[in-house]
Amino acid sequence: MEVLILLGVLFLALMIIVPLIERSKMRVSAQTAGKISRWIWPLVMIALVLQLIRMMMQG
């Protein structure tokens, strides 16, 4: 039951947020997107290592 509630809330949030983002005039240039994308994989790897350490400490 909790899964259905969670999915419903996420769907509702998407129905509200997506139109707001589409109406927004903020655009990301290719150069800015390139700078951001350089940081994504290292941050994902750090998050995975931290999660692994956390799981090992819990038992």
Structural domain harbouring 10: 2-58
Q: What is the count of structural domains for the chain?
A: 1
H or E segment at 1? none
Rounded Cα distance between 40 and 43, Å, is 5
For 1-59, write each residue's pLDDT tens digit: 899 999 999 999 999 998 888 888 788 888 988 888 899 999 999 999 999 999 999 97
Rounded Cα distance between 53 and 11, Å, is 33
Phi-psi region of 29 (alpha: psi -120 to 50; beta: other; left: phi over 0): beta
Rounded Cα distance between 36 and 30, Å, is 10
Residues found in the chain: 59
